[in-house]
Structure 1
Amino acid sequence: MPATKDRPGRSRATPRPFVLWREVLTAYAAPALTAGAAAVATGQRDLAVAAVTSIAGTSAVVAFLLGTWLRNGGRPRRWTTALPGVVVTVVLAVATTGAAALLGWFAARWLPAHAPLLAGARLERLRIDLPVSAALATAVVTLRWRGSAARRTPRPTAREDTR
């Protein structure tokens, strides 16, 4: 068999396992670099600040919290492994996006009234930055976790299904 052919039964290379610190680091670095590059390219100083604070920070926090929850079983675990991965991802993304949107709205309204130094356009960005970052981080972390969980638990063969 030629060296370039995959071995029978393997459709692609085995991805790395789900490692929380790596997911959190990626969740911070990816949006910080992409939003930072966009800020430099367009000359938007507020986007550059948001890239390393509210955008990347939210992604890292969501990746840590969600990754910890999923890694520790995702109570109740049954639905996180029984439902199709896309459904689990959508359900979790809607939940984290909703929570982040509420937090962004609360911060944009409450903080200027109670901390005058923090008033300004940067707080208004939280209404968009937090939910978008949470949705993207949730989708990536959930799909990565689901992919690694599927590799850890062997699927029943046709012979085992008939018993």
Structure 2
Amino acid sequence: MKCPNQADDIYGSKAVGSKKKTFVLWREVVMAYAAPAIMAGIGGLVTADRGLQIGALTTIGGASALMALMIGLLLSSRVVHMQWVTGTPHLVMVGVFALAGSMFGLCAAWVTSGLLEIMIPGNHLAWVDRIWIDFPLSGFIASTIVTWRWRLAVTTNFSSKRRRKK
């Protein structure tokens, strides 16, 4: 029987007062939306750029949240048990996922702009030009932050499990 103050390693929850870091996906997704949306919104207010203000709440924040969700789901799934994810140096793994996130953002921008040209021919939407920067940049930033925080949580959990086994 477990003591109520012990952390439950199976579900990644954390007991009150525990120093162990955990990875909680919904918090990461909320922060992935809020942080770039707030910063871009402030930038839009300072420069009086209405397009940046709207993009902060739509393409920038939305692409970041979507990328954080996808990377978080991938990392929380069976990929954890793959040796290259936990055995690779921290910066290398974060770099690989950041590059993959920016490439995915670039592909998403290409697909989105192509679909919009097919669906709405001749009507040029101003925000479509923004997605070529917003999607890859949001993918890069969200992938970097989520992967970095996930790796810290995994490293902390693995080291605490090793100490308990000894």
Q: TM-score, normalised by structure 1?
A: 0.81
Identity %: 34
**Structure 1 residue runs of 4 or more that deviate by more than 6 Å after TM superposition:** none
Give the CA deviation at 1:76: 6.2
| Letter matched to residue 43 of structure 2 | A
CA 1:118–1:97: 2 relative to 1, 3 Å:
farther
Matched residue, 2:61: 56
CA-based RMSD: 2.2
Query: Could you say which residue in structure 2 is the equivalent of 1:132?
Result: 137
Point out the more displaced range, 18-27 or 115-124. 115-124
> Matched residues in 2 for 1:32 and 1:58: separation?
10
Conserved? CA contact 2:20–2:156, under 8 Å: no
Distance 2:52 2:121 in 1: 21
* More divergent stretch after superposition (124-133 vs 70-79): 70-79
Deviation at 1:107, TM superposition (A): 1.9
State the match for 1:26 in structure 2.
Answer: 31
Q: How many residues align?
A: 146
Alignment partner of 1:39 is 2:47: no
TM-score, L = length of structure 2 = 0.79
Asked whether the equivalents of residues 20 and 157 of structure 2 are also in contact (C-alpha less than 8 Å), the reply is no
Matched, 1:109 2:114: yes
Instruction: Please list every run of 5 or more consecutive structure 2 residues that lacks an aligned counterpart in the other structure.
Output: 1-17
Once residues 60 and 108 of structure 1 are traced to their aligned partners in structure 2, the CA distance between those partners, rounded to angstroms, is 20
Measured after TM superposition, the shift of residue 15 of structure 1 is 6.5
Matched, 1:152 2:150: no
